[in-house]
């Protein structure tokens, strides 16, 4: 791997670059004014020729090939190829997780120069974990475009109900929606904090969180997102909390009265906390 420390004119910082590139890609998407985002159309526009849905080890992969790209997305059962280059009309339904993977893989193409017959990585594009983080960020923007999400959040307080509605509407996972809400930084006084957790090994970890600024005075904003819930919520989480499916308490956290409600998630061991000021 090259560590490029060359002296060249500064491009926009990598996070700005990916935001700009993702927005530009979305703008080219015709009819992109209503969710959910047509990821197959977006992939086609980014010169993706084939999408493989198949059992595989990772969640997804992108390969530069002659004339564009091929993308593989993990599927537990299906093993099929969608030929975007041949106007294949099939658009198999994807789960929210697969949609995120496909959006992430499309984001990888943003770091390639498409003017070549076989796309080549842009000089000085980020590598490793930083590249993956940027592709996750762009994937979120693809699935939940700024303008649409802003419009949907205007006048609608952040709550678990709103989150579920947005997840269905954008066909995006809870964690993707929460991260986007957090990124957009729209603040309304009635917003609730939403903490989404999953059990991983022996710990319950915060996977995504939105804590509105007024609550940040008493609730730490869990960042980066992988944080132990036990540590984060120790000021109000009791022993009973861990064994109850539904747990709702009014608690006093540093003098602020909060209503903390635990609700089970749709999948496995995931659950949400919804926290509001009483």
Q: Which residues bind Zn ion (CB under 5 A)?
A: 132, 135
Nearer to Zn ion, 47 or 164 (CB): 47
Q: How far is the CB of 60 from Zn ion (least distance, A)?
A: 7
Q: How far is the CB of 136 from Zn ion (least distance, A)?
A: 8
Give the DSSP H/E element, type plus range, for residue 199. Answer: strand 193-200
Q: Which residues contact 100 (CB under 8 A, 6 or more apart)?
A: 139, 143, 172, 173, 176
Nearer to Zn ion, 135 or 178 (CB): 135
CA–CA dist 98, 182 (Å, integer): 22
CA–CA dist 167, 170 (Å, integer): 5
**Residues 103 and 179 sit within 8 Å (Cβ to Cβ):** no
Cα 100 to the center of its chain, rounded Å: 7
Burial of 142 from C-beta contacts in 10 A (0-12 / 13-18 / 19+)? buried
Nearer to Zn ion, 135 or 209 (CB): 135
Q: How far is the CB of 56 from Zn ion (least distance, A)?
A: 13
**Residues 44 and 30 sit within 8 Å (Cβ to Cβ):** no
Q: How far is the CB of 132 from Zn ion (least distance, A)?
A: 5
**Nearest one of 112, 134, 133, 131 to 121, comparing CA atoms:** 112
Q: How far is the CB of 269 from Zn ion (least distance, A)?
A: 25
Nearer to Zn ion, 124 or 132 (CB): 132
Nearer to Zn ion, 38 or 132 (CB): 132
């Amino acid at each position: 791997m090259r560590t490029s420390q060359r002296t060249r004119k500064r491009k926009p910082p990598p996070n700005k670059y990916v935001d700009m590139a993702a927005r530009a890609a979305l703008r080219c998407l015709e009819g992109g004014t209503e969710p959910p985002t047509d990821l197959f159309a977006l992939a086609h526009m980014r010169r993706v020729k084939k999408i493989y849905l198949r059992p595989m080890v990772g969640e997804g992969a992108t390969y530069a090939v002659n004339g564009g790209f091929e993308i593989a997305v993990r599927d537990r059962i299906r093993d099929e190829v969608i030929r975007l280059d041949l106007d294949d009309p099939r658009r198999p339904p994807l789960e929210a997780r697969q949609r995120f993977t496909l959006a992430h893989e499309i984001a990888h193409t943003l770091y390639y120069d498409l003017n070549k017959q076989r796309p080549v990585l842009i000089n000085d594009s980020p590598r490793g974990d930083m590249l993956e983080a940027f592709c996750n960020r762009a994937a979120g923007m693809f699935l939940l475009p700024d303008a649409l999400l802003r419009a949907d959040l205007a006048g609608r307080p952040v709550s678990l109900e709103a989150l579920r509605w947005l997840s269905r509407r954008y066909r995006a996972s809870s964690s993707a929606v929460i991260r986007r809400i957090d990124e957009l930084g729209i603040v309304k006084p009635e917003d609730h904090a939403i903490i989404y957790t999953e059990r991983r090994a022996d710990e319950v970890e915060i996977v995504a969180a939105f804590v509105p600024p007024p609550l940040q005075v008493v609730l730490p904003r869990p960042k980066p997102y992988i944080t132990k819930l036990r540590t984060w919520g120790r000021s109000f989480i009791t022993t009973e909390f861990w064994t109850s499916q539904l747990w709702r308490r009014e608690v006093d956290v540093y003098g602020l009265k909060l209503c903390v409600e635990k609700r089970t998630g749709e999948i496995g061991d995931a659950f949400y906390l919804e926290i509001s000021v009483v």
